[in-house]
């Protein structure tokens, strides 16, 4: 019985793994929340374009400047707080200036 429950849980994890676009949306929403002034000028949308995506079949990770910025599990994406003073924000500013 435990084996069947584990197989069902594994199937649900695989089926509900969030997509790249889900990670980009979650990152943009969190960026808007943490940096509202920059977001007025389209910074959140532009920043979300730089979010990479790594799928590990049962969960996924969004990355920016080789740092994890979001975790996707059970159809939900949990984005990390991105203060404008962070190293990730600095790398993002460099990438956007190119």
pLDDT in tens, the chain (98 residues): 889 999 999 999 999 999 999 999 999 888 888 777 777 777 788 878 888 999 999 999 999 878 888 999 999 999 987 665 666 666 666 766 66
Please tell me the predicted confidence (pLDDT) of residue 97.
67
Q: Is 32 exposed, middle or buried (0-12, 13-18, 19+ CB in 10 A)?
A: middle
Please tell me the predicted confidence (pLDDT) of residue 83.
60
> What long-range pairs does 26-34 form, CB within 8 A, spacing at least 24?
26/62, 26/70, 26/77, 26/78, 26/79, 27/51, 27/62, 27/64, 27/69, 27/70, 27/79, 27/82, 29/79, 30/70, 30/79, 30/80, 30/81, 30/82, 31/82, 34/81, 34/82, 34/83, 34/84
Q: pTM surpassing 0.85? A: no
- Helix/strand/coil for 55: strand
Burial profile 7-28: b = 16 or more Cβ within 10 angstroms, e = fewer: eeeeeeeeeebbeeebbbbbbb
């Amino acid at each position: 019985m435990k084996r069947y429950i584990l197989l069902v849980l594994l199937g649900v994890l695989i089926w509900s793994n969030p997509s790249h676009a889900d990670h980009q949306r979650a990152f943009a929403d969190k960026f808007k929340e943490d940096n509202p002034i920059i977001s007025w000028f389209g910074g959140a949308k532009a920043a979300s374009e730089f979010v990479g995506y790594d799928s590990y079949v049962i969960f996924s990770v969004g990355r920016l400047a080789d740092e994890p910025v979001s975790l996707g599990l059970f159809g939900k994406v949990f984005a990390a707080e991105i203060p404008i003073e962070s190293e990730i924000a600095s790398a993002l500013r460099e990438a956007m200036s190119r």
